[in-house]
Amino acid sequence: MEKGLRKVAADLWPGISMRRIRLGAGILNQTPLDWRGNVQRICQALDEARRQGVQVLCLPELCLTGYGCEDMFLAPHVWRTAWQQLQTVVPQTRGLLATIGLPLSMGNGVYNAICVAVDGQIAGFVCKRHLAGDGLHYEPRWFREWPAGQQTRYSADGGDWPTGDLLFDCEGVLIGFEICEDAWVADRPGAEMARHGVDIILNPSASHFAFGKHQVRQRFVQDGSRAFGCGYVYANLCGNEAGRAIYDGGALLAAGGQMLAMGPRFSFQDVDVVSAVLDVDVLRTRRAAVHSLSADLTGRASGRIIRVSAAAAFDQTAASVTAVADEPRDTAEAGAVWSESDEFVHAEALGLHDYLRKTRSRGFVVSMSGGADSSACAVLIRGMVERGLQDLGAAGLRRRLSYIPDLATAETAADFMQVLFAGVYQSTRNSSETTRAAAAGVTSAVGGRYHEISVEETVERYTQLVQQMIGRPLSWQTDDAALQNIQARSRSPGVWMLANVSGSLLLATSNRSEAAVGYATMDGDTSGGLSPLAGIDKSFLRRWLRQMETCGVRGMAPLPALHLVNAQQPTAELRPEASGQTDESDLMPYDVLERIEELAIRDRLSPREIVSELQSAGLQQTAEKIIEWVRRFFVLWSRNQWKRERFAPSFHLDDRNLDPRSWCRFPILSGGFSWELQQLQAEDKPTEN
HEC profile for 401-446?
Answer: CCCCHHHCCCCCHHHHHHHHEEEEEEECCCCCHHHHHHHHHHHHHH
H or E element that contains 376: helix 372-400
**Banded model confidence at residue 16, pLDDT cuts 50, 70, 90:** very low
pLDDT band at 2 (very low <50, low <70, confident <90, very high): very low
Residue 327 confidence (pLDDT) above 60: no
Is 356 exposed, middle or buried (CB count within 10 Å of its CB: 0-12, 13-18, 19+)? buried
Whether the per-residue pLDDT at 444 is higher than 80: the answer is: yes
8 A C-beta contact, residue 56 and residue 313: yes
Statement: residue 125 has pLDDT above 50:
yes
**What's residue 8's pLDDT?**
30
> What pLDDT is stored for residue 329 in this prediction?
54
- Report how far residue 576's alpha carbon sits from residue 484's, in angstroms, rounded to the nearest whole number: 10
Report the C-alpha gap between 345 and 382 in whole angstroms. 10
Contacts of residue 175, defined as CB under 8 A and 6 or more positions apart, other chains included, come to: 56, 97, 167, 168, 169, 198, 199, 200, 201, 202
Task: Tell me if the domain spanning 343-584 has CATH number 3.40.50.620.
Answer: yes
What span, in angstroms and rounded, lies between the C-alpha atoms of 39 and 85? 7
Taking residues 562-591, report their average pLDDT.
Answer: 92
Beta bridge partners of 530: 507
User: pLDDT per residue over 579-620, tens digit each?
Assistant: 889 989 999 999 999 999 999 999 999 999 999 999 999 888
Between CA 584 and CA 582 the distance in angstroms is 5
Instruction: Give the residue among 338, 442, 352 at the shortest CA–CA distance from 388.
Output: 352
Q: Is the pLDDT of residue 150 over 50?
A: yes
pTM greater than 0.85: yes
- Can you give the pLDDT at residue 309? 79
**Measured CA distances, 633 to 599, 637, 638 (Å):** 11, 6, 9
pLDDT at position 336, please? Answer: 75
- Closest of 359, 354, 271, 328 to residue 63, by C-alpha: 271
CATH of domain 588-689: 3.40.50.620
Distances (CA, A) of 249 to 22, 188, 266, 378: 20, 22, 6, 25
Q: Is the pLDDT of residue 59 over 70?
A: yes
User: pLDDT band at residue 432, thresholds of 50, 70 and 90?
Assistant: very high
Please give the Cα distance from 207 to 210 (Å, whole number). 9
pLDDT tens-digit series, residues 301-322 = 677 999 987 655 565 534 455 5
Q: What is the DSSP letter of 598?
A: I
266, 268, 269, 273: CA torsion to nearest 10: 0
Q: Any idea of the CA torsion for 588, 592, 597, 602, to the nearest 10 degrees?
A: 180
Determine the pLDDT at residue 5. 43
Query: Looking at the DSSP assignment, which residues form a beta bridge with residue 247?
Result: 208, 239
DSSP state of 652: B
C-alpha 227/C-alpha 28 separation (Å) is: 29
CB 98 within 8 A of CB 273: no
The pLDDT confidence band at residue 578, using thresholds 50, 70 and 90, is confident
pLDDT at 321: 55
Local structure of residue 303 (DSSP, 8 states): G
In this predicted structure, the answer to whether residue 375 has a pLDDT above a threshold of 80 is yes
pLDDT band at 365 (very low <50, low <70, confident <90, very high): very high
- Using pLDDT thresholds of 50, 70 and 90, give the confidence band for residue 480: very high
* Residues 328-362: tens digit of each pLDDT: 455 445 667 899 999 999 999 999 999 999 999 99
| Helix, coil or strand: residue 241 | coil
Whole-number percent of the chain with pLDDT over 90: 84
Stretch 490-503: mean pLDDT:
97
Determine the average pLDDT of the residues in 185-214: 95
d(CA 67, CA 351): 16
Mean pLDDT along residues 106-127? 97
Residue 563 has pLDDT above 50, yes or no: yes
Q: Residue 292: pLDDT band by 50, 70, 90 thresholds?
A: confident
Q: How confident is the model at residue 290 (pLDDT cuts 50, 70, 90)?
A: confident
Mean pLDDT for all residues in the chain: 92
Q: Is the pLDDT of residue 72 over 90?
A: yes
CATH superfamily of 2-335: Carbon-nitrogen hydrolase (3.60.110.10)
User: CATH 3.60.110.10 in the chain, residues?
Assistant: 2-335
The predicted structure's pLDDT at residue 137: 92
Q: What is the pLDDT of residue 96?
A: 96
What is the average pLDDT across 258-271? 98
Give 11's pLDDT tier (boundaries 50, 70, 90).
very low
* Residues of each domain in the chain carrying CATH 3.40.50.620: 343-584, 588-689
Q: Which residues contact 358 (CB under 8 A, 6 or more apart)?
A: 31, 240
pLDDT score, position 18: 52
**What is the Cα–Cα distance from 570 to 545, expressed in whole angstroms?**
13
pLDDT beyond 70 at 299? no
Tens digit of each residue's pLDDT (9 = 90 or more) over 618-644 = 888 999 999 999 999 999 999 999 999
* pLDDT band for position 689 (cuts 50, 70, 90): very low
Q: Please, which pLDDT band fits residue 372 given cuts at 50, 70 and 90?
A: very high
Counting Cα atoms < 13 Å in the Cβ hemisphere of 550 gives 7
User: Over 70: is that where the pLDDT of 688 sits?
Assistant: no
Nearest alpha-carbon partner for 491 in 441, 448, 525, 528: 525
pLDDT bin (cut points 50, 70, 90) of residue 685 is low
- Mapped onto helix, strand or coil, the DSSP state of residue 79 is helix
Residues belonging to the chain: 689
